[in-house]
């Protein structure tokens, strides 16, 4: 059951009616119904793996009290390390067992048959959510949640359990504890954000996917076709993942919640540090707080080089979090290396925001945006490739300017360019907003507004390609 499916639309319409008009007598009853809906949503994909989510939630709930009530700092750490061993161990087993065994087999030149291990949906996301809860309790930033229904709902919150955003306890738990009243303006804004997310996913991302899949999956392609493939994949992954995040945030708004913003127009960034402040924001902030900050303190005696080590460790963690493949490790390492010039020049934390009320960027700003986009596009070849050798072959063939064995019709490229350009134009003009359709009723006449809605729905219906999965579901 994915957001761009009829199954989810049916599920959510029924849920919405019951949530606001039947189970709204008290916050306790409403949360119990929400929790039941969260488990139904998760079990729809694979009910066996719901057991793992339940057990992980119970263990975290108990560990939270154990850490909070521990009489000494040493015992607090012992309980925290217990949680780390359990949850990192589960993540390593389900996600990385075959990766480690295959790497070992390659080193020893022994045959390897992958183990039949099913990857639990959303395990990378909800594991980080569980760990942040334990870290925050241990650091005195958050108290254990007494109401188990609230805590279980926080962990399994269905708009974001599968692909984020990775909400911290202080963001979502207080909202679950408070009574909620239906807010018309919030709901309308949520519907608009869902519409914008659907547009990005079905019209932009899925059309770009036709071209990027062709470039990455077809042998004997060279030069411009491969450059185009990398370019369209860079747009695809943004439109796909940010589209999912928009829909998750919009669905949460319809339920009366404000969850973490995950993207802030990252392709308008002028350097890589700014890009990562705006790309997958919930993951970046998580890694900053729990990996980078402790590591930078540990290596502070080494000045800039200590900072570089902390950055690279953080991005290696990010790479491993994304998947069990050396391509992700190298992807993370390269992004860490991109920071080195910024650190040595003392520019890592300097912000270069272009004012939202300025229509055109300067030549220098446009040059910086283009350079950052190209650097990101270069590493996304690794992100998309099946393995290291395929990625290197892709890089090598980019510079071979001979006619390719086959080529997609030019109309495929034209459609994707037009839709991508329209998306970026709307986002550029809406840089000061949470999403481009925010406050649409204040700026557009009613006729223009409803014409846009009709056009958007028509495009979604025309270009929906058999309920395509979201890229980040596999992480």
CA-based angle 183:188:194, to the nearest 5? 125
Q: Are 324 and 95 in contact (CB under 8 A)?
A: yes
Instruction: Collect all residues with Cβ–Cβ distance below 8 Å to 373 and sequence separation of at least 6.
Output: 234, 267
Spell out, as residue ranges, where the chain has pLDDT lower than 50.
none
Token pair for 307: 């900072």
**pLDDT in the model for residue 11:** 96
Q: Which of 258, 205, 255, 256 is nearest to 232 (CA)?
A: 205
Q: Is the dihedral of CA 89, 90, 95, 97 positive or negative?
A: positive
Task: Report the distance separating Cα 167 and Cα 131, nearest Å.
Answer: 11
The predicted pLDDT at position 136 comes to 96
**Kind plus residue range of the DSSP H or E element containing 278:** helix 272-278
Instruction: Mark 125-150 as b/e (b = at least 16 C-beta within 10 Å).
Output: bbbbbbbbbbbbbbeeebebbeeebb
Q: What pLDDT was estimated at residue 467? A: 60
Q: SS3 helix, strand, coil % of the chain, rounded to 5? A: 70, 0, 30
Sign of the torsion angle spanned by Cα atoms 179, 183, 189, 194: positive
Could you tell me the CA-to-CA distances from 464 to 231, 258, 265, 357, 451 in Å, in that order? 21, 28, 24, 34, 20
Please say if 322 is a catalytic residue: yes
Angle between the 410-428 and 206-217 helix axes, to the nearest 10 degrees?
A: 130
Q: Which two tokens stand for residue 157?
A: 């919150």
Instruction: In whole angstroms, give the CA distance from residue 97 to residue 99.
Output: 5
> Which stretches of 8-147 are assigned E, i.e. beta strand?
none
Tokens representing 141 are 């930033």
Task: Give the span between the Cα atoms of 386 and 379, in whole angstroms.
Answer: 14
Under a CB-based contact definition with an 8 Å cutoff, are residues 342 and 351 in contact? no
3-state secondary structure string across 156-208: HCCCCCCCCCCCCHHHHHHHHHCCCCCCHHHHHHHHHHHHHHHHHHHHHHHHH
CB atoms within 10 A of CB 268: 21
> What is the structure's pLDDT at 407?
62
* Cβ 210 vs Cβ 408: under 8 Å: yes
CB 243 within 8 A of CB 200: yes
What does the pLDDT read at residue 48?
A: 86
Length of the chain: 475
Tell me the per-residue pLDDT of 16-34, one tens digit each, with 9 for 90 and over: 999 999 999 999 999 999 9
C-alpha angle 300-305-306 in degrees, rounded to nearest 5: 30
pLDDT at residue 132 in the model? 96
For the CA atoms of the chain, what is the radius of gyration?
Answer: 23
Tell me if 255 sits within 8 A of 19, measured CB to CB. yes
Q: Point out the catalytic residue in the list 45, 280, 322, 335.
A: 322
Residue 194 and residue 202 in contact, taking contact as beta carbons nearer than 8 Å: no
Task: Write down the number of H helices and E strands in the chain.
Answer: 20, 0
């Amino acid at each position: 059951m994915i957001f761009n499916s009829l199954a989810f639309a049916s599920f959510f319409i029924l849920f919405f009616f019951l949530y606001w008009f039947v189970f709204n007598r008290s916050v306790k009853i409403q949360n119990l119904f929400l929790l039941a809906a969260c488990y139904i949503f998760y079990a729809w994909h694979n009910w066996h793996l719901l057991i793992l989510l339940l057990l992980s939630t119970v263990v975290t709930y108990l560990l939270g009290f154990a850490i909070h009530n521990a009489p000494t700092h040493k015992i607090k750490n012992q309980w925290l390390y217990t949680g780390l061993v359990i949850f990192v161990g589960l993540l390593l087993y389900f996600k990385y067992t075959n990766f480690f065994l295959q790497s070992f087999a390659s080193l020893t030149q022994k045959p390897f048959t992958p183990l039949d291990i099913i990857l639990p949906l959303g395990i990378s996301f909800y594991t980080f959510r569980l760990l942040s809860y334990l870290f925050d309790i241990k650091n005195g930033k958050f108290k254990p949640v007494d109401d188990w229904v609230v805590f279980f709902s926080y962990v399994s919150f269905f708009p974001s359990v599968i692909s984020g955003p990775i909400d911290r306890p202080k963001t979502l738990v207080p909202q679950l504890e408070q009574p909620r009243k239906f807010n018309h303006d919030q709901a309308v804004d949520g519907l608009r954000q869902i519409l914008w997310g659907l547009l990005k996913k079905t019209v932009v991302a899925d059309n770009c996917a036709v071209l990027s899949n062709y470039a990455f999956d077809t042998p004997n392609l060279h030069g411009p076709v491969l450059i185009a493939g990398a370019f369209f994949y860079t747009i695809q992954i943004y439109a796909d993942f940010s589209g999912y995040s928009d829909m998750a945030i919009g669905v949460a708004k319809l339920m009366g919640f404000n969850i973490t913003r995950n993207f802030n127009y990252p392709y308008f960034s002028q350097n890589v540090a700014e890009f990562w402040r705006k790309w997958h924001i919930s993951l970046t902030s998580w890694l900053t707080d729990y990996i980078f900050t402790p590591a930078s303190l540990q290596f502070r005696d080494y000045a800039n080089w200590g900072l570089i080590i902390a950055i690279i460790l953080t991005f290696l963690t990010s790479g491993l979090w994304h998947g069990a493949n050396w391509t992700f490790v190298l992807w993370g390492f390269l992004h860490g290396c991109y920071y080195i010039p910024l650190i040595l020049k003392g520019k890592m934390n300097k912000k270069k925001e272009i004012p939202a009320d300025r229509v055109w960027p300067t030549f220098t700003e446009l040059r910086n945006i283009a350079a950052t986009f190209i650097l990101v596009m270069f590493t996304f070849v690794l992100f998309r490739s099946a393995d290291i050798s395929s990625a290197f072959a892709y890089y090598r063939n980019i510079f071979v300017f001979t006619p390719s064995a086959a080529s997609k019709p030019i109309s495929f490229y034209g459609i994707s360019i037009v839709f991508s350009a329209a998306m970026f134009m709307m986002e550029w003009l809406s840089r000061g907003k949470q999403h481009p359709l925010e406050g649409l009723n204040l700026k557009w006449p009613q006729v223009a507004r409803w014409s846009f809605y009709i056009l958007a729905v028509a495009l979604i219906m025309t270009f929906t390609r058999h309920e395509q999965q979201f890229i980040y579901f596999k992480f």
